[in-house]
Amino acid sequence: MPMKKSTIASKWVDPDDAPHLDREWFQKAEIREGDRLIRPARAIGRPKKASPKEAVSIRLDADVLAHFRATGPGWRSRINEALRKAAGLAS
C-alpha cells in the first residue's frame, strides 16, 4: 500500500544555530535538583525597596488607636507619618 506524504513541515533546527550559553545566561537560569526547585529563574515577589519598613510590635493607648482606625484604610501609614513628624523626620 502506498504511504501518504506528510503535510507537516519539518521542525528540525540546526544545533549550530543555538544561542551561546554564557555566564549571564547561567546566572539567570532556573536550578533544579530532580523535581525540587533550588533557585527560580527570576526573583519571586516584589522588588526590594531601598529602605524597607520594619515590622514591630508596639502598644498604643486604645483611644489613640481608635482615632487612627476611624480615619479608614491607611491608618497604619498615618500613624507612621505622625511618628515621623514627632521625630522631626517628616519629608
Give the C-alpha separation, 71 to 22, whole Å.
55
Q: Are 84 and 90 within 8 A, CB to CB?
A: yes
Q: Give the tens place of pLDDT for each residue, 40-85.
A: 887 778 888 898 899 999 999 999 999 999 999 999 999 999 999 9
Q: Give the tens place of pLDDT for each residue, 69-80.
A: 999 999 999 999
- Cα angle: 42, vertex 44, 49; to 5 degrees: 105
Give the C-alpha separation, 65 to 83, whole Å.
13
Q: pTM of the prediction?
A: 0.50
